[in-house]
Amino acid sequence: MLWLAAACTATAAQGDAGSLTGVPGDPARGLAILRDPSLPSCLICHSVSSLPDRDQGVLGPSLDGVADRFTADAVRLRIIDARKASPETIMPPYFAIDGLFRVGSRWRGKTIYDPQQVEDVTAFLMTLAE
């Protein structure tokens, strides 16, 4: 898995991140990941108005209309490692392990999402057009 993260980081440095798996993401699985309280989720910091039944954050911008503002590759890049798009971001990388500090022992050396989870969350977010 480390080689995949390294390959993705190299691609992400160019401003986009292509598919990690070559398998299209499933928006329904992506939604399930966001709603799963046992997993870190975009909804810790962001909100999606179509999900009123889930506690949501207000630290980051709303994700409503994100599919109108970004391509799937740009959304995927931000999930993988938002620092590649915005070096000063406070958004955690969901599929990168380099350059982190104060990482809890449970997560040290591990990504938050696996490659297919990145694809599934990306697919769901790309359904959020206005």
For the chain, 130 residues long, give each residue's pLDDT as a single digit of tens: 433 444 444 344 445 678 899 999 999 999 999 999 888 899 999 999 998 877 899 999 999 999 999 999 999 999 999 999 999 999 999 999 998 888 888 878 999 999 999 999 999 999 999 8
Q: How far is the C-alpha of 8 from the C-alpha of 35, rounded, in Å?
A: 26
Q: Where are the domains of the chain?
A: 2-18+27-125
Against a cut of 0.75, is the pTM above it?
yes
Q: Which CATH number fits domain 2-18+27-125: 1.10.760.10, 1.10.8.640, 3.40.50.300, 3.90.1150.10?
A: 1.10.760.10
Number of other residues whose CB lies within 10 A of the CB of residue 46: 20
